[in-house]
A and B are shown apart, each in its own frame.
Chain A
Amino acid sequence: MNSIFLQLFIEFFQIGLFAVGGGPATIPFLMDIPSRHDWYAKSDVVNMLAISESTPGPIGINMATYAGFHAAGLAGGIAATLSLVLPSLIVIVIIAKILDKFNENPYVKSSFAMIRPVVTGLIATAVCGIFETALFTASDGSFQFPVFSLILCALFFIAMNLKKLNKIHPFFWMVAGAVVGLVFQM
């Protein structure tokens, strides 16, 4: 077995096993990977997110496909995605047999009661990393303080939370972002 596929399997199987809370929970793990492998750079995670949110399908799956593709082409994308879904396939099949008991088990409930907030904290860390690479790092890799981008980001954030606009699909926000980027030559 080619070692890169074995490594993809190990990394993405782990993500599938430990990312509790769906797609966004995979982001901290994806931010971790560049410190161990040269499949993609930390700054690529922003592109991955943009593509994953604006293409059909579950975000976590899209990101695994994209990351795997970066690592080892088409076969890498397939390997990463299959490795990501394998643990939940196993876990869910087991749980499906004992669904009611699992849902009510106090040990299961208490461990997940603590895992959920920690995962939120982990995602918050990942979001800081995304801000750092997407906004605070200039194209030559040096530090920049992006006043304009930060104001724009705040405006988008406020707009997304307006009652009338909060049902709008992320894809349309990205189109709006692209238009703003073109107009202001960002």
Chain B
Amino acid sequence: MNELLQLYFAFFRIGGLTFGGGLTMLPMLKYELVEKKNWVTEDDLLNYYAVGQCTPGIIAVNVSTFVGYKRKGIPGAIISTLGMISPSLIIVSILAMFVQQFIENPYVAHAVGGIKVVVCALMLNTVITMGKKSMVSKITIAMALIGFALAMFTPIPTVLLVIFAGIIGIVLYKMGRLKV
């Protein structure tokens, strides 16, 4: 089979069979790409993850773009990314079509009431996990608090806050106040 098609279906399987994205996808990526297909080494995969985590965009998509590019250049990158997002497009579109009808049903409404509580707990968990990883010094704690306060109490767009944060990092580095 043509390698581009193989890339598409490998990432289609990964996208369609893993829940959650990000790090939860790592075991599946390892199985498909390192053990089964031998397309990349495990070290490659961890490097892609490291970069994928600190570049914009969805981490799992970034990793698929990397692997696709390594195998087949730009067409490979595009095909792998499309493979990764195809299952989501199909499954979520189908669900979205029916969700509105479902939500009117009283039993579904009760269930959704309980699910909302779980979503809140999950989100709290996510933000605490991220905080443990990113708030590691006085200055990073201060940046997180400032970011929180500005987003909470001012109408400054999220995009600008992210750009400012990057600029502050570079300025602090130039001033010798930030060791990287």
Contact = CB atoms under 8 A, between A and B. Distances in A.
Interface of A: 14, 16-24, 26-29, 32, 46-47, 49-62, 65-66, 69-70, 74, 77-78, 81-82, 84-85, 87-89, 91-93, 95-96, 99, 102-103, 106-128, 130-131, 134-135, 149, 152-154, 156-157, 160-161, 169-171, 173-174, 176-182, 184-186
A69 B92 contact: yes
A29 B17 contact: no
B20 A169 contact: yes
Contact of A32 (B65, B70, B147, B157): B157
B170 A61 contact: no
Interface in B1-54: 15-22, 25, 47, 50-54
Contacts of B152: 125, 128
Contacts, number: 379
A57 B59 CA distance: 12
Contacts of B143: 114, 117-118, 121
B68 to A, nearest CB: 9
Contact of A56 (B16, B22, B77): B16
A135 B117 contact: yes
Contacts of B180: 106, 109-110, 113
A49 B127 CA distance: 14
B56 A61 contact: no
Given A109-B180, A113-B180, 18 more contacts: A47-B99, A47-B112, A55-B92, A59-B21, A59-B58, A61-B61, A85-B85, A89-B78, A111-B169, A114-B172, A121-B146, A122-B147, A149-B117, A153-B121, A160-B125, A169-B20, A174-B119, A182-B114
Interface string B82-96: 001101110111011
Given A23-B21, A114-B166, A81 B89 contact: yes
B22 A23 contact: yes
Given A65-B92, A115-B166, A120 B120 contact: no
A110 B21 contact: no
B117 A156 contact: yes
Interface of B: 15-22, 25, 47, 50-62, 65-66, 69-70, 74, 77-78, 81, 84-85, 87-89, 91-93, 95-97, 99, 103, 107, 110-127, 130-131, 133-135, 139-141, 143-152, 157-159, 161-170, 172-173, 178, 180
B121 to A, nearest CB: 4
Report the 7 A-B pairs with minimum CB-CB distance, sorted nearest first: A181-B114, A88-B57, A121-B147, A186-B113, A58-B21, A177-B118, A114-B169
Contacts of B159: 14, 18, 29
Nearest to B92: A65
Contact of A121 (B110, B151, B167): B151
A93 B20 contact: no
13 contacts: A55-B91, A56-B91, A57-B84, A57-B88, A58-B21, A62-B92, A115-B169, A119-B134, A123-B130, A130-B119, A153-B120, A178-B111, A182-B111
B69 A157 contact: no
